[in-house]
Amino acid sequence: MIAVFPLTKLIVGKRIGTTAAIVPLTIAAIPFVARLIENAIKEISPGIIEAAQSMGADVKQIVFRVMIPEALPSIASGITLTIINLIGYSAMAGAIGGGGLGNLAIRFGYQGFQKDVMIGTVIVLVLVVQVIQGIGTRVYNKLLK
């Protein structure tokens, strides 16, 4: 996050704060999501693409009617994983002035020696991750059908 402070200052006008944390979080997420989508597309069976080609589908039809629908469950699973990672990253961003639960845990829990605040913050983060994972699993299962 510190390495992109100059870019963050250029884009949002400041280096520290909730708005400034968005830039490094986005930079961290983009290659991760791109790799997950690439892997989801690579998992598509070549036989399915060949079948679409043999039925006369052009490239646009193959991409939008075959490849994307086939890759969608894996993409949804990857997006769930990305959101969970971003929750962890945003909690760490709070330690350097990004605000949110990470800031609360550091300022009051760690620096203020209030273990209950720190434990409560961890419990909230775990619950949020579990809810997002549950939603992601439901979406994945619906897309499989």
What CA–CA distance (Å, rounded) separates 105 from 121? 6
For each of the domains in the chain, give its residue range(s) and CATH number, in order of start.
Answer: 2-144 (1.10.3720.10)
- Which residues neighbour 96 within 8 Å (Cβ) at sequence distance 6 or greater? 1, 2, 16
Cβ contacts of 52-59, under 8 Å, gap ≥ 24: none
φ/ψ (deg, to 5) at 6? -60, -40
Are 28 and 88 contacting, i.e. CB atoms less than 8 angstroms apart?
Answer: no
With 0-12 / 13-18 / 19 or more C-beta atoms within 10 angstroms meaning exposed / middle / buried, residue 90 is: buried
pLDDT in tens, the chain (145 residues): 667 778 888 898 887 777 888 888 888 899 999 999 999 999 999 999 999 999 999 999 999 999 999 999 999 999 999 999 888 888 877 766 777 777 777 778 777 888 888 888 889 989 999 999 999 999 999 998 7
Are 101 and 112 contacting, i.e. CB atoms less than 8 angstroms apart?
Answer: no
